[in-house]
Amino acid sequence: MEIARSKKGISVSQRKYVLDLLKEIGMLGCKPVETPIEPNLKFEEMSCVALVDKGRYQRLVGKLIYLSHTRPDLAFPVSVVSQHMHNPQEKHFGAVSKILRYLKMTLGKGLFLGKKNERKVEAFTNSDCAGSVDGRRLTLGYCTFVLGNLVTWRSKKQNVVARSSAEAEFHAMAHGFVN
């Protein structure tokens, strides 16, 4: 982990970790992409599709989960691919590859904790009502800022099926403030 201090604040990134990961899996020379996941990507579970190496998939997703601790931009895409660790298929591995290609484009990204005069706590939430193709469960996300700095973030599929978008937003808001 690289930490840089200045009069403006502290910057935290995992540039070397990303480079080592890309080198380890042979993607150091890959073509970078600007987004970590396709918009509105939905996976349907299919039992008759060719599977990929489950151990390799789980190791890669585990490394992405670790990386997402300093990369809030990875919270949602890593949440999506981690839902398929029990039965990874080619399309899931393709989504992991896209995240890795995005990392190549954004090597130096991380967190910046700045010295600010803001004296407030803010929380933002959002949800995707019935976003899961198979279970119709909702996906929610939240982030919290303290003194103007991002300190918590998460994206997670819930065990709840919301009957309306208002109910889904309420679940997201309640979950964002509880955690």
pLDDT tens per residue across span 70-110: 999 998 899 889 988 888 888 889 999 999 999 999 998 99
**Domain stops at, among 110, 131, 148:** 110
Q: Whole domain around residue 74: which residue ranges?
A: 2-110
Facing residues of 9 across strands? 6, 114
Q: Which residue has the tokens 């890669």?
A: 60
CB atoms under 10 Å from CB of 156, counted, come to 17
- Do both 90 and 130 map to the same domain? no
Model-level pTM? Answer: 0.77
What is the 8-class DSSP label of residue 119?
-
**Domain stops at, among 82, 110, 138:** 110
Residue-wise pLDDT for 137-148, tens only, equals: 667 778 888 988
Residue-wise pLDDT for 7-42, tens only, equals: 999 999 999 999 999 999 999 999 999 999 887 666
- Do both 121 and 98 map to the same domain? no
